[in-house]
Amino acid sequence: MDAVAGLRRCSEWPAAADRRHLRARGCGLSDSAAPPVRAPLPVISIVTISFNQARFLPAAIDSIVGQDYPGLDYIVVDPGSTDGSREIIASYGDRIATVLLDPDKGPADGLNKGFAAACGDIFGYINADDLLLPGALARVAAAFADPAVDVVLGNGVIIDDHDRQLRTAQSSRFSRGAYGHGAMTFIQQGCFFRATAFARAGGFNIANRTCWDAELLIDMALAGARIVNIPDRLGAFRLYGDTITGSGRLAEAMRIDVARIAAKALGRPPRLGDGVLARLYLLARRLGNPQATLDGARARLQQRR
């Protein structure tokens, strides 16, 4: 199914008599969950891509289905796990609205397939080894109450493979110039976006195997999305030896992808003077958020000990 053409939408809450019909369409709504009368909630679609992560998968799923958010549309994509992950997924029954078990061409392709099956107005994704923090979806819904907002960048925490918090993580204020000069970072688990923004960007680039999240953000910006930061901690990124970030196994591919996306963000190839601009952007980021700068310095010192 085409990732954009296949998008469906559930526009806010239906009348009570229609909720059973909406659930039959796979929109993840329960008959017992009554919508707020005065403030209709948007349906939020969350996709989890799973591949042989049985060790962490239950915690990831629990962090999402345990949100107590009545407008949750939850999709899990597993292209072929052999470690018991599929049995774990099946054990959740209809708490997961849609399960896709077809082979895919990698994580970005799996996410595209997941969002093609989604019916929410707002999208987000949590990998099988990461977490959504308690109350995150309610905060996301509040942020999107402003119709002019297309993408939200929240904050989060970094944890290890034993759920120990290593440090906090703050998303930088977005600008294409800052990203293009290496001075903008964000925590993917705190990134949420409207289905319309995802569609305008054309979905994920399935050829990107290292930083598909960053490329989508830039593509949404280039397609005209309004991106805002919120102070809430929304997700947890798990850093350990087997992750792309932790292992460094795709370091060269990552370098190539980052350079390509930077050129896309800037609208031009690298040129003389970019090194000076990069230092200025980085200085502005550090001065603009001194607490994050101090937290990062402490984390680096602890790693050296």
pLDDT digits (tens, 9 = 90+) for 123-141: 999 999 999 999 999 999 9
Q: Scanning the structure block, which residue is given the tokens 């591919």?
A: 253
Instruction: Specify whether the CB–CB gap between 237 and 156 falls below 8 A.
Output: yes
Mean pLDDT of all residues belonging to the chain: 85
CA atoms within 13 A on the CB side of 143: 28
Strand runs (DSSP E) across 18-96, as ranges?
A: 44-49, 72-77
The residue written with tokens 């970030």 in the block is: 245
What would you report as the CA-atom Rg of the chain, rounded to the nearest whole angstrom? 19
- In a domain, residue 34? The reply is yes
Which pLDDT score, from 0 to 100, does residue 293 have? 59
Q: Residues 112-121: pLDDT tens digits?
A: 999 999 999 9
Predicted local confidence at residue 286, as pLDDT: 74
Structure letter (DSSP) for residue 137: H
- Assign 6 a pLDDT band (cuts: 50, 70, 90): very low
Q: Assess whether pLDDT exceeds 70 at residue 25.
A: no
Q: 8 in a domain, yes or no?
A: no
Expressed as residue numbers, the domain containing 44 is 16-304
Instruction: Please return the burial class of 24, using the count of CB atoms within 10 Å of its CB with bins 0-12, 13-18 and 19+.
Output: exposed
The stretch 40-61 carries a mean pLDDT of 96
- Is residue 152 within a helix (H) or strand (E), and if so which, with residue range? strand 151-159
For the chain, what is the domain count? 1
Asked whether 236 and 243 are in contact (CB, 8 A), the reply is no
Nearest to 63 by CA among 95, 103, 100: 95
Residue 234 lies in a domain: yes
Residue 260: inside a domain: yes
pLDDT tens profile 202-254: 999 999 999 999 999 999 999 999 999 999 999 999 998 765 554 566 789 99
Q: What does the pLDDT read at residue 1?
A: 44
The mean-pLDDT minimum among 5-19, 88-102, 227-241, 286-300 falls in 5-19
* CATH code (residue 195): 3.90.550.10
Domain assignment present for residue 5? The answer is no
Q: What is the pLDDT of residue 282?
A: 79
Query: Is residue 281 domain-resident?
Result: yes
Instruction: With respect to residue 4, please indicate whether it lies within any of the assigned structural domains.
Output: no
**Opening angle at CA 50, ends 47 and 52, nearest 5:** 170
Residue 3 counted as domain residue: no
Angle at 139 between CA 261 and CA 203, to 5 degrees: 30
